[in-house]
């Protein structure tokens, strides 16, 4: 990485190399803020996100990782650059150019730092793992992983589980959007919040929309809103 940086920016000065969260936190607390930090997500004693939880990192960051996992979509959403390993010179150059454009103004720098904060907040957020429901006189729990989709009907909210049952929940779909991992579920319209495993078929529909056939659902009008189609495709293709 350092070799590539010097090839692309010959006068770049590397002020530190750090292997762990502990070393990084200590360094950021006791050294001047650098112009750029390149961070591997996986460090010797944890992940680089833990650095942000323990100290302020007031500079642009380019993340690198060998794992094309959930974190990458968060970076895209928040306009943070990341590079998959092995690091490609052209990708690094593009990331550096992007950061140069963003940091040409104070306003651009502020937006970038705000985005970093958003990413850390999203990735450290704990989402619900189960719901409590009432079945007759009994209370039981449902694991989120066993829910195929959530839907609203007659001013109530239901979840449809893998055993093909519907259960009423004491939440609105808007509340569920804050409680459920957005990488696992997608809000396709005002009435449905689904996971990819619930989809039986996807059909092109009028006005550039998509029609979904959901498993064990009698609703033939599950439509992905036109303004959500592109984001929906990216969610499926991550």
Q: In the predicted model, is pLDDT for residue 72 greater than 60?
A: no
Q: In the predicted model, is pLDDT for residue 70 greater than 50?
A: no
Taken in order of first residue, the domains within the chain and their CATH numbers are 2-124 (3.40.50.2300), 131-236 (2.40.50.1020)
148 falls in which pLDDT band (50, 70, 90)?
A: very high
pTM for this predicted structure? 0.52
Residue 61's φ and ψ, nearest 5 degrees, are -130, 135
Mean pLDDT across the chain: 81
Q: Residue 166: what pLDDT?
A: 93
Pairing of strands 61-65, 82-84: parallel
Using alpha carbons, list the distances in angstroms from residue 52 to 20, 95, 123.
13, 21, 11
The SS3 of residue 122 is helix
Residue 61's Cβ-side half-sphere holds a number of Cα atoms within 13 Å equal to 24
66 falls in which pLDDT band (50, 70, 90)?
A: low
Q: Using one digit for the tens of pLDDT, what is the confidence trace for 9-35? A: 888 899 989 989 999 999 999 999 888
């Amino acid at each position: 990485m350092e070799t590539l940086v010097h090839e692309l920016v010959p006068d770049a000065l590397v002020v530190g190399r750090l292997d762990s969260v502990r070393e990084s936190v200590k360094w950021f607390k006791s050294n001047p803020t650098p112009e750029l930090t390149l961070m591997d997500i996986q460090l010797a004693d944890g992940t680089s996100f833990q650095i942000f939880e323990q100290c302020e990192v007031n500079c642009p960051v380019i993340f690198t990782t060998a794992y094309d996992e959930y974190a990458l979509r968060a970076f895209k959403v928040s306009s943070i650059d990341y590079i998959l390993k092995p690091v490609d010179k052209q990708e690094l150059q593009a990331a550096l150019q992007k950061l140069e454009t963003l940091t040409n103004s104070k306003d651009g720098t502020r937006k970038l730092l705000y985005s970093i904060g958003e990413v850390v907040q999203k990735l450290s957020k704990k989402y619900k793992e189960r719901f409590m429901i009432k079945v007759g006189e009994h209370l039981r729990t449902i694991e989120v992983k066993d829910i195929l989709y959530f839907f609203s009907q007659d001013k109530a909210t239901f979840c449809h589980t893998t055993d093909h049952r519907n259960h009423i929940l004491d939440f609105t779909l808007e509340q569920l959007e804050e409680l459920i991992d957005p990488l696992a579920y997608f809000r396709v319209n005002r009435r449905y919040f689904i996971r990819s495993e619930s989809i039986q078929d996807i059909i092109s529909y009028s006005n550039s929309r998509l029609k979904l056939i959901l498993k064990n659902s009698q609703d033939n009008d599950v439509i992905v809103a036109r303004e959500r189609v592109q984001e929906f495709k990216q969610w499926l293709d991550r």
